[in-house]
């Protein structure tokens, strides 16, 4: 049986296709991967994070963006759409595009069964190569559980976990706290999810 050849695209070809596409795709080293839709709980968590971070960051020189703003990881030839991104000190755009940034400060991914391994493994390895990235936050949509990886002294990433609904999600590099009850507002753990 013959193996089907995989078509490879340049970053410029990918971006041109993405401008016309009806759905989002990620790009990794010449290959394009369609993104799956998200559950109601996934969307609730992303919305809750955005709303709480937007209000908390208003007096700071930081902005929060939802999943339509693409991130470029140059060292790994990757274009990806994190669920939530925080940028501090102004946006740095990829080749003067206003839809692709190079300088996220904190990135968030809401875990699903199909992406959990990737988000914990390769994607986190890719994200660690972003200059200026200080924290990476993984939010479980099936249980109350948040993992916050923070870049510590000597370049080591340190894990802090949050399990209790009365805890507050804190950040090492921002003076911001978000109650887990706010992160998980209206999330129904009994709903069938992907």
| Structural domains present in the chain | 38-183 (3.90.1570.10)
Stated pTM of the model: 0.93
pLDDT in tens, 101-132: 999 999 999 999 988 999 999 999 999 999 99
pLDDT in tens, 127-179: 999 999 999 999 999 999 999 999 998 889 999 999 999 999 999 999 999 99
Which two structure tokens, joined as six digits, stand for 57?
A: 């960051």
| b/e per residue 64-82 (b: at least 16 CB within 10 A) | bbbbebbbbbeebebbbbb
Dihedral, 193, 188, 24, 111 alpha carbons, nearest 10? -70
**pLDDT, tens only, 35-68:** 988 899 999 999 999 999 999 998 889 999 999 9
């Amino acid at each position: 049986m013959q193996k089907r050849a995989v078509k490879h695209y340049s970053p410029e070809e990918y971006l041109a296709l993405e401008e016309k596409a009806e759905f989002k795709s990620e790009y990794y080293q010449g290959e394009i991967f369609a993104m799956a839709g998200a559950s109601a709980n996934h969307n609730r968590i992303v919305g809750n994070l955005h709303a709480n971070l937007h209000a908390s960051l208003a007096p700071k020189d930081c902005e929060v963006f939802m999943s339509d703003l693409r991130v470029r990881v140059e060292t790994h030839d990757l274009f990806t759409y994190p669920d939530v991104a925080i940028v501090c000190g102004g946006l740095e755009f990829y080749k003067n595009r206003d839809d692709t940034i190079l300088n996220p400060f904190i990135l968030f991914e809401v875990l699903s069964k199909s992406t959990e391994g990737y988000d914990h493994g390769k994607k986190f390895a890719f994200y660690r190569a972003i200059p200026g990235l200080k924290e990476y936050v993984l939010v479980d949509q099936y249980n109350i559980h948040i993992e916050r990886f923070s870049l510590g002294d000597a370049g080591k990433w340190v894990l802090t976990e949050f399990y209790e609904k009365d805890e507050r999600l804190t950040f090492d590099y921002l003076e911001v706290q978000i109650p887990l009850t706010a992160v998980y507002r209206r999330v129904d753990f009994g709903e069938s999810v992907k």
